[in-house]
Amino acid sequence: NAGVTQTPKFQVLKTGQSMTLQCAQDMNHEYMSWYRQDPGMGLRLIHYSVGAGITDQGEVPNGYNVSRSTTEDFPLRLLSAAPSQTSVYFCASSPQGIYGYTFGSGTRLTVV
């Protein structure tokens, strides 16, 4: 049982490049979310999903796309990277209902 797996752990992009951050969980969790963490700003919700085929925007969705074709996977796509997207990105999942999230180990992204 690997929990929540994020890849890559580190990434450097040039401005304007696109990429996909991968997130997979093997706990059969319905809920999955993407957060970005910046110094002094806590964890801000980018996009979230309550089940396969269902996604919704969070607090800071601009510049990011998501899809949820399976229960296990929830990739985050950066369409055209900007320096403002330099951050640590966390994927998290939880069972349906009132439960806490389990977080992945994070992806540290730098956009130059």
Partner 1 sequence: GENVEQHPSTLSVQEGDSAVIKCTYSDSASNYFPWYKQELGKRPQLIIDIRSNVGEKKDQRIAVTLNKTAKHFSLHITETQPEDSAVYFCALRGGGNKLTFGTGTQLKVEL
Give the nearest distance from C-beta 65 to partner 1 in angstroms. 18
Q: Residue 88 Cβ, how far from partner 1 at the closest point, in Å?
A: 9
105 counts as binding partner 1 under rule CB under 8 A:
yes
Cβ proximity of 28 and 3 under 8 Å: no
Residue 2 binds partner 1 (CB under 8 A) = no
Instruction: Check binding of 100 to partner 1 (CB under 8 A).
Output: yes
Rounded Cα distance, 53 and 38, in Å: 29
Determine the Cα angle at 109 with ends 37 and 89, to 5°. 35
Inter-residue contact 96 to 41 (CB < 8 Å): no
Residue 85: what residue type?
Q
Q: Is 102 in the site for partner 1 (CB under 8 A)?
A: yes
Selected binder of partner 1 within 29, 85, 90, 109 (CB under 8 A): 90
